[in-house]
Each structure stands twice: as C-alpha cells, then as structure tokens.
Amino acid sequence: MSQTPALKAVLSISGASCQGCAKKIRNALAPLTGDPELVEVNIERQTVALPEGVDLSEAARILAETGYLAESAPPQRTESTLHSSRDQVHLAVTGATCASCVNTIEKALLSVPGVTQAHMNLADNTATATGAPNTASLIDAIKSAGYGASEIEDEDEAEDRRQAEDRKQYKALMIKMAVSLGLGLGLMIWGMGFGSMMVSGDNQITWFNLGILTLGVMIATGGHFYIGAWKAFTHHNANMDTLIALGTGTAWLYSMVVVSIPEALPATARHVYFEASAMIIGLINLGQAMELRAKGKTSEAVRRLLDLRAKTARVLRDGEERDIPVEAVLKGDHIRVRPGEKLPVDGVIVEGSTRIDESMLTGEPMPASKAEGDEVSAGTLNTHGSIIYEATRVGSETALAQIIKLVKKAQGSKPAIGRLADKISSVFVPSVMLIAVATALVWYNVGPEPAVVHMMIAATTVLIIACPCALGLATPMSVMVGVGKAAEYGVLIRQGDALQTAGKIDLVILDKTGTITEGHPTVTHIHALDGDDRRLLALAAALEQHSEHPLAEAITNKARQNKLPLESVTGFEALNGKGILGQINGQTLRFGNRRWLEAEGVSVVSLTDAAKAITDEAGTPLYLAIDTDVLGVIGVADAIKADSQAAIERLHQAGIKVMMVTGDIDATAQAISAKAGIDDFRAEVLPEDKAKVVNEMRAKGHTVAMVGDGINDAPALAAADVGFAIGTGTDVAIESASITLMRGSLHGVPDAIEISQATVNNIRQNLFGAFIYNSLGIPVAAGLLYPLWGILMSPILAGAAMSLSSVTVVSNANRLRFFKTSQRSEQHTESN
C-alpha cells in the first residue's frame, strides 16, 4: 500500500550556493526537527522543507543568524517522511579493496527501496545511488554488507578529506610494510644462515616464541585484512581480504602445528613458514601503498579544476569595494577583477574591456577579447585590463562548478567494456577458494612426500596470488584518467558509454549553422527587381524583427546600419524550415526559401541569376514576396570557421566519413561542402527530419556521431550513437548530447574520438593483463610446472606478484595522463 505524501512546511531562502551550505542549514535547524536529515534543502530551488508543525518564524530567525535570508513559501508535499530523498546520493565508502567488494556494495545499494541504479567506483572509493533513495537506508545497507559509508554533502570538503586520509594511509602502510618485511627477512636470514627452517628439539622453543612474535606482527601490520575477511564472512561474502587472511593464516597455523607437535609429522615435513606469512603481508602492504600513490595521480584533472576557483571576490557594495569569500557573492553583485586575477563567478561585463585566458575551461590556447555585454566564466584568468562585471551565476550554478560536477560524474560511470569484469568478480573469490581446496586435495593424494607440506604451500600460494583487485581497478582507473584528459581539451564526457562508443564512430553528421560556420551570418547581396534595394531590405527587416533566427539578426542589423525605418507588422508567423510571413498595410509578405514561396504560388524564375551569384559564394538566397508577386532576393552568408576544414581533415585521416545536414538549399549546401571538404550532404532538411537522417545512417550499419548546437538539433543528438553539443549552443542541445565541446571548434570531435580510442585501448590492456595474470598465475601457483621441471612457486613470490599486478594496472592507466591528440602533437612539433 502506497504511503500518502506528507505535507511539508517550506521556507524560501537566498544565499545558499553549495552542498556545504545545505549541510550548515541542516545542522542549524536540527534542534527544531530533532534530526538534521528531516531538513530538506534544495539548492537549485532555494527552498528549505521542514516537517509539519515546525515553527517557521523561529526557523527563519535561526537561518538569518546563520547567514541565509528566509521567508515562508507555499507548503509542498514530499514522498519522504523520515529522511531527505534526492534523485542521486553520493557516498564515501571505506573497506572496499577489490572487484568482489564493488559487486557486493552495488548489490546492497540496489536492495534499498527506491534505488534504480547503483555504482561503486573503486578508483576513488565512492558510490552513487540513483532514483529516489533514502540516504540513511543506503548507509545502513552498505554497513550491513560489512563496509563503512558516509554521505558526501560537500564535494570539495570530501576531496580534501580523501587526500588527507590517503596521505595518512600511505604513511601507515609504509610503516607496516617495513615492520612485516623486516621480520620476514630477518627470520629468513636467521633460519638460512644461523639456524634452520626445520624444527628440531634444539630450536623448538625458539621457533615457538618467534611464531608468537610473528602473530603479533601479522595482527599489527595486517589486521585490516583479517578484520575485512571476518566482516565478509559474517555477511556471507568473500573478497580479497578473505584470500589474504586464509593464505597467511594457513601458513602461520601450519607452522605452529609443526612447532607444537613436530612428532605428529614426518621429519621432512617439519618446515616452518613464519617468514612467508610476514613477508606476504609486507609485500601486499607495499603494493597497496604504491597503488594509493598512483591512484592519487589519476584525479589530477579534477584537482586542477578545483584549483581554478577563486577564494575571494572584490565586490562593489554601498559605494565601496570589499573582499568577501566567494561563497558570499550574490546574483546581481558587481565585481571588480584586476589583471592577473581569477574570475570568482560567472557574469556579464558592465564596464571595461580585457583579454581573458579561458584555456583551462575550453582548451583554447589564445586569450579571448571581452568587452561590455560579453559573458565571462568563473575560473578563467583576466590577463589584460581591469573590468567590472555583474554576477549572473554563483556557487554551484557557475560553468566551472557544472564542469567539475560533470567530470566527477563521468569519472564514476562505467562503460560496457567494464561490465565483463563485474560478472567475473561476482564469482572470482569463491572460485579461487574452490581451486585452492582442489589443489590441496590433489597434492595430498598424489603429490610427492612430504605431501602435507606441498599441499599447504600450493593451496596457500593459490590463495595469495589470485588478484581480484586488479580486475576491479582495470576499468575505473582508465575512465578517471581518460575523462580528466578529455576535460583538459575542453571535451566534457557525460556518460561512460559515450567514452567507449566514440572510438567506434565511422560517420560524423554535422549541422551547418554554428557548427561548421561561425553562426553569425551577414548580408552579402541585396537584389530588388525594381532597383529599390533599400525598400526591399526595409520590408524584410520589418518581418525579421519579430524572429529569433540567426538570419533575422543579420537582416535587422543591416537595416539598422542603413538607418532604415521599419513598418509595423501584424499577424506575424514563423514557419520552421520555410520562412516567415506577416501583414503590412493589409498585404501579406512572405520572406523565405524558394521551395516554400513556389508552393505558395510565387514565381521566382526572374531571380535565378541573382540567386546563383549568392549560392556560388556559399550564401543563402532568401526571397521576399507581397501576396504572389516576388520583390527581390537577399543573400545571407555565414562564414566557415577558420579551423573547420582542418578538423574535418583530421576525421578523414582517421577513416571517418563526414556528412552535413542542413535546411539550406542544395546549391548553398554544395558550395559549403566543397569549401569545407565534406564527403556528403543533405540539403533542405526540415529540423524535425534531422533525426530521421541519423536513424537512416544507423540502419545502414554506421556508428553515427551527430554534432550540433541548436534546439532543433536536440532530437538528432539524442538519436545518434554519440551526440556532440557545441558548448556555445543552447542548453537544450547540451542536455540532449552525451559529450559537450566547451569551445566552438570542431577539433573537439577528433580530440574526443582519439581520447576515447586511447582510453578503451588502455582498459583493454588492463583487463587483458588482469585476466592473463590470474589465468596463468593461479595454475602455476597450483603446481602446473612441478611435473615438468620440479618448480613449486613460493607463497612469498605469489604475494609479490599479486601486489605487482595491481600496481601495474594503476601505472598503465596513468600513462593516459601523458597522451596527446594528433593536433596537440603537431603543434608541439611545430613549436620545436
């Protein structure tokens, strides 16, 4: 039976800009609600929802003292009556060490009511639950699975805390490594040089004492493995800790049996392996420390983005300038930025002009000129003049904050190629344990004497050498580095699957206006049949002043430059993909393409030569008619971007075909295609039919990328295998695409494809290495080489190999940090 949503009391607030603010508000209002989780804060809507019955005036007073203005708002209903629910909850997870842990945690999260999707990222130890999750239930589910969890409310604070904990853990692991390896090596040297690794009446007491010492060191330096194994056992799971605990525990226990009752075993079987237990733990600790250090390098891209943020802003309030924390900046504030300073928030310049370095956001190396009326972004660097600008987006709304959010989300996503590892990891540890048991039985029954020693060594080695950790890290480490590398090039990858699919693209479909061209058309030709070009332009501009199309701006700007008076228009109507119409002095004016006017009974044959002159220069002819009489034609051209041809050539070099889809006439489309080097084009395509072209190409077996920037491109972007939105375009287009190009250049498309291919190849290398390592290592550990050459692997060597496998995966992923696209490599070569 469904629960009736509870009525909530709501306050409208101002000044809350991030999850840190939300946390502060929850804690401040906790005395009124009894639990901070009962306070629901919506940063986007700037509202605070409280349980019914809470004194709103008291809540508003508390918020004012905390620094947030508040007033009553209409009550709202909410599905949660106990804890706050959001579309997505991010959690910091502790205790996860391998792919089996990831699988267990994701299953635990999916078992929580309301969760539709769950993902655990072993690379940064975070988990994300999507749907309508209850935060407290998610944390309880992870804890019940044997791991620790806490909600990430402030991403920045969480990142700083994670780095501090990583540094602390690294030091602790290195100390533990030194202690356990020191003991293990000491025992080995003493046993081989001065004593004997075989127990006898002379050294039995000594070995017993050393066994107790070894146990103490194992607990002190490897206690986290045994605790993790015990938690997994009590929750009916098994993970990497299980294998380590069983392997080292078996070696120590066997050695203690030898020391305690040596007479129960044959003389040849009275060998102790205390040094193996200690050294295995030491080597694994060393491997984890090296892995931790290498992991830290994979998140450098996000750290660089975080470092772009200014800490303070110089705000003009009450006639004076004052420096305030960037969190305190409000929309509408006027901010002064001097040369060499970072911009603290997004806004629009109201005074001054300058050049701003936007390379950290867009990948564009040259500073951009900015003047009054131009938009500027947080995190960019003012390189030249002093400006004053008005804040339009602050806190989590800034472009930089959204980029960081997108990068982190993409880094935590899982492409299809990584799901193979998930399937294997779910059965990996139990399978290894069964193999170890089978190995022990084979050696005990058919192995040479002393059978019990060979049995113990082989089984222990199998348990130690198996490495689910390498499987768990193979995909997320590469994804983290690949997504970060893409961000450096101004390419924002929103989904893990897009990262994988981009490398398979064999056909790129381009919109024309704003994608291939500048998106700022200008009037190039005016041809009136009666010779009155000014009247023709004035009538066209009178219609176009009511339109928002890019071509309309070109027409009206031209009329404004010529200081032409514009008549009033009634009954204005815009027909998508055709043109516009309206009435002036009772007469119907139509202004649009040839096909539409001819369909309306207007003959344009008399303007054929004039139209050809326009299309020969890659312009678009627009015809003006009164009723059914054509008056003339106006040519509008949109210049091809300076680097479009070079970007298209890069796609050709990669073996990718390029097609243009445009609503423009055939002659204009043909001229632009020829200039830009495009393979094929479709002209006079209505906006709603662009998606049909994409689906047609996909049906022919192509892996299709669609690149666009307008609202009319959104269906096609969504229909493509990978949608690329030009970051200078509309929000609708950006939301419909899986990859966003922060700068307007088409070079972002081949950049994204090259980074995708490099990342997927890196993932494949990691998975291949992890699979081959385990496929070869486990049989060799079980004794595969013994019948041939009498070789039986030592558990110590197995421990070193296991640690090395994880470090190798992480190190291989870090190679992506040095990857350069073909364009960047060419620029570097030319500069040298």
Residue 153 reports pLDDT greater than 80? no
CA angle at 503 for the pair 499 and 507, rounded to the nearest 5°: 120
* Residue 661, Cβ density class (10 Å: 0-12 exposed, 13-18 middle, ≥19 buried): buried
pLDDT at position 414: 65
Structure confidence at residue 269 as a pLDDT band (50, 70, 90): low
- Find, among 24, 296, 16, the residue nearest to 160 by Cα: 296
The phi, psi pair for 393, rounded to 5°, reads -135, 130
Q: Which of 67-81, 669-683, 727-741 bottoms out in mean pLDDT, i.e. has the lowest? A: 67-81
User: Is there a contact between 63 and 57 (Cβ–Cβ < 8 Å)?
Assistant: no
Q: Which of 455-459, 504-508, 711-715 bottoms out in mean pLDDT, i.e. has the lowest? A: 711-715
Residue 75 reports pLDDT greater than 50? no
490's tokens: 């101004």
Structure confidence at residue 832 as a pLDDT band (50, 70, 90): very low
**Highest mean pLDDT: which of 23-27, 169-173, 306-310, 572-576?**
169-173
Tell me the mean pLDDT in the region 117-128.
Answer: 82
Sequence-distant (≥ 6) Cβ neighbours of residue 319 within 8 angstroms:
none
Within 687-831, strands assigned E span 704-708, 722-726, 739-741
CA 646 to the chain's CA centroid: 28
Percent of the chain exceeding pLDDT 90 equals 24
pLDDT tens-place string over residues 723-770 = 888 875 445 445 667 888 887 789 999 999 999 999 999 988 988 888
> Which residues make beta-bridge pairs with 7?
77
Sequence-distant (≥ 6) Cβ neighbours of residue 797 within 8 angstroms:
none
Q: Does 511 participate in catalysis according to the annotation?
A: yes
Tell me the mean pLDDT in the region 535-544.
Answer: 93
- Averaged pLDDT of the chain: 82
Q: Determine the Cα–Cα distance for residues 681 and 702; give it in Å rounded to an integer.
A: 16
Sequence-distant (≥ 6) Cβ neighbours of residue 772 within 8 angstroms:
none
Q: Which pTM does this prediction carry?
A: 0.68
Residue from 333, 511, 664, 709 carrying the catalytic annotation: 511
Residue 649 reports pLDDT greater than 90? yes
pLDDT tens-place string over residues 215-238 = 999 999 999 889 888 888 887 877
What DSSP line would sit under 549-561, residue for residue? SHHHHHHHHHHHH
CA angle at 758 for the pair 752 and 759, rounded to the nearest 5°: 85
User: Is there a contact between 495 and 410 (Cβ–Cβ < 8 Å)?
Assistant: yes
pLDDT tens-place string over residues 765-821 = 988 888 888 888 889 989 989 888 888 888 888 878 877 887 888 889 888 888 988
Residue 644 reports pLDDT greater than 80? yes
Residue 44 reports pLDDT greater than 60? no
Q: Determine the Cα–Cα distance for residues 795 and 781; give it in Å rounded to an integer.
A: 8
CA angle at 533 for the pair 584 and 570, rounded to the nearest 5°: 15
pLDDT at position 76: 42
Q: Determine the Cα–Cα distance for residues 287 and 698; give it in Å rounded to an integer.
A: 46
Percent of the chain exceeding pLDDT 70 equals 87
pLDDT tens-place string over residues 459-516 = 888 888 887 777 777 888 888 888 888 888 888 887 777 888 899 999 999 988 778 8
